[in-house]
Chain A
Amino acid sequence: EVQLVESGGGFVQPGGSLRLSCAVSGFIFSDYSMSWVRQAPGKGLEWIAYIITSSGTIYYADSVKGRFIISRDNSGDSLYLQMNGLRGDDTAVYYCARMENLHDPLDYWGPGTLVTVSP
């Protein structure tokens, strides 16, 4: 059974940092690209980052470029999102999602982890 589980969310002050993790199981992690998608309270879905299988290709949404870093550990079946310079508008549930390749659908999602940025 394919499973993705995010962790690392919580409360952080503006300007602070947080590192999210996504542990996967039930499939060969190194065969799949991954994305992070977030959803602010009561709002729609916003894609924020993509990483290819080998980490050789990475893309970010403009809203997080220069502040967030996506990475992966294929030997540990884990995906990460390092979030720096956090702002109030970064408050959201953060989901990791699996995809085969760029332009493919996000076919499995984790349950999400909530990040709250507040003084």
Chain B
Amino acid sequence: SYDLTQPLSVSVALGQTAKISCGGKNIGGENVHWYQQKPGQAPVLVIYRDAYRPSGIPERFSGSNSGNMATLTISSAQAGDEADYYCQVWHSSSAVFGGGTRLTVL
């Protein structure tokens, strides 16, 4: 099986930049997708194929992927960005999710 490792929590001051990591063996060779999930709601796709933003997602959200680490970056963090974030790849015909990271905006 393929494992994706995310920090349990990340904190960021209002207006600052948050970085959420997603570690996996040679993840740089995979397409990484990122989802935002607010309490009681379904996940929302915020980044796909490492660095592309779906329509309607603010430019403040960006992604990168290289080596053994993918990163979701949220610039100028806002209170509304508080949520759980999950990375995801497809590996051997299975979707694999990271354990999720709780983002707190202080």
Contact with A along B37-69 (1 / 0, CB 8 A): 100011111001100001000000000000000
Q: Assess whether B90 is in contact with A44, with CB atoms less than 8 Å apart.
A: no
Interface magnitude class on chain B: 20 to 34
**Given known contacts A103-B31, A105-B88, A106-B33, A45 and B44 CB-to-CB distance under 8 angstroms:** no
Asked whether A47 and B99 contact (CB < 8 A) given A95-B43, A105-B88, A106-B33, the answer is: no
A44 to B88, CA, bound (A): 12
Q: How far is the CA of A35 from the CA of B99 in the complex (A)?
A: 19
Nearest CB on B from A101, distance (A): 10
Bound Cα distance from A101 to B104, whole angstroms: 33
A61 to B96, CA, bound (A): 10
Task: Flag A87-119 by CB within 8 Å of B: 1 or 0 each.
Answer: 000000001000000111111111110000000
Name A106's closest neighbour in chain B (CB-CB): B45
Knowing A59-B94, A105-B49, A112-B42 are in contact, say whether A45-B86 is a contact too (CB < 8 A). Answer: yes
What are 22 of the A-B contact pairs (CB < 8 Å)? A37-B43, A37-B95, A44-B98, A44-B99, A45-B35, A45-B88, A45-B100, A47-B95, A47-B97, A59-B93, A59-B94, A95-B42, A103-B90, A105-B33, A106-B33, A106-B95, A107-B48, A108-B45, A109-B42, A109-B43, A109-B44, A111-B41
Which A residues have a C-beta under 8 Å from some C-beta of B? 35, 37, 44-47, 50, 59, 61, 95, 102-112
Which residues of B approach A to under 8 Å, CB–CB? Answer: 31, 33, 35, 37, 41-45, 48-49, 54, 86, 88, 90, 93-100
